[in-house]
Amino acid sequence: MNTKEILIEDIDAAEALGVNNINLKTIQKHFQKVKVVSRGNQLMLAGPESDMELFEEKFQQMINHIIRFGGIQSLQLDGILAGSVQTETEKADNKALAGQETGDVIVYGNHGKVIRAKTPNQRKMVEAMKTNDILFAIGPAGTGKTYTAVALAVKALKNKEIKRIILARPAVEAGENLGFLPGDLKEKIDPYLRPLYDALDDMLPADKLKSLIETRVIEIAPMAFMRGRTLDNAFVILDEAQNATDLQLKMFLTRMGPQAKFVITGDLTQIDLPKKSMSGLVKAVKILEGIHGITFAYLSFEDVVRHKLVREIIKAYDKSVENLLDQTKKP
């Protein structure tokens, strides 16, 4: 009897085999003549040569689908095995060949969800990160600046351009004091970091995300936890940077290692710092523009993807922001 060994190298073996080996069991049902033994990241096959070759081909198609889309559903796997149902991967590839894709796709999320740049300024963010190591994305709520930044980070991780993702936010109270909130430190700060978790939930399967956080491949922490560190081989996002003071933002930016990418997002209309404290983001706009390798992307009400009224609300606040920037740029 012929034998063959398959190594699972591109993704975690547990992710490929599925919960309780459900993916492997599904494939085995279609190859009754092939005996399979699973050991870690190895599959030992025994059976007719032609059957084993087809088994390996279908198994690799499944792996490719999981890598591209972050997971696979039973119907999608059945389609791969039957060969009569076009997979989502094939559909996407065919669209690209036919010129139907816009080129705005950043990454594929859970169950093949397409995460794309939806507006011209979101596309500017994507393009800017190809040639710059630090990007400031400044704009009002609902413009997708944080979501786009997280998508870029997940893409870089999947493409193995970096080894980890670090997501940070200033833990600034908006009417509440952290010391009076219930729970331990993690429970106190998690509400401030919730938008980052929400974005990751769209892009990575729950079990995969949990594993990446537990192994610190993805780290989500308050900005203060960055002090004294060198952040290298990482895609680092500082969200809500308008709530960082000048000294805090300087501290954060100087943590940058030689093989790192930084994205700083903020909304100058929602500064929650005490009145006597100047926003570090406001000062950064004034002093960092023009430095090679640092770029700024400005989003506006036109980039809002929420309720149509959000655009009108933002327009009403724009004049006050323009006045604020004018005042800070005066000598």
Contact present, 252 and 226 (Cβ < 8 Å): yes
Contact present, 288 and 294 (Cβ < 8 Å): yes
pLDDT band for position 109 (50/70/90)? confident
Separation in Å, CA 310 to CA 142, 227, 234, 273, 331 = 8, 36, 34, 23, 34
Domain's final residue, options 95, 129, 164: 95
- How many contiguous H segments (helices) and E segments (strands) does the chain have? 12, 11
Does residue 84 register a pLDDT over 50? no
Domain's final residue, options 42, 76, 95: 95
85 and 145 housed in the same domain:
no
215 and 316 housed in the same domain:
yes
Which of 18-32, 59-73, 179-193 has the least mean pLDDT?
A: 179-193
pLDDT band for position 185 (50/70/90)? low
Separation between Cα atoms, residue 323 and residue 307, nearest integer Å: 26
Separation in Å, CA 49 to CA 1, 55, 61, 80 = 9, 10, 19, 20
Q: Residue 177 has what pLDDT?
A: 47
What are the two backbone dihedrals, phi and then psi, of residue 276, each rounded to the nearest 5 degrees? -80, -10
Contact present, 318 and 141 (Cβ < 8 Å): no
First-last CA distance in the chain? 84
What is the domain count for the chain?
2
The CATH number that applies at residue 56 is 3.30.1370.10
185 and 235 housed in the same domain:
yes
Could you identify the residue written with the tokens 């096959």?
Answer: 45
118 and 18 housed in the same domain:
no
Parent domain of 68: 3-95
- pTM score: 0.65
Look at the chain and count its residues. Answer: 331
126 and 183 housed in the same domain:
yes
87 and 133 housed in the same domain:
no
Paired with 266 in beta bridges are 138
137 and 265 housed in the same domain:
yes
Domain assignment present for residue 169? The answer is: yes
Domain's final residue, options 77, 95, 113: 95
More confident residue, 275 or 127: 127
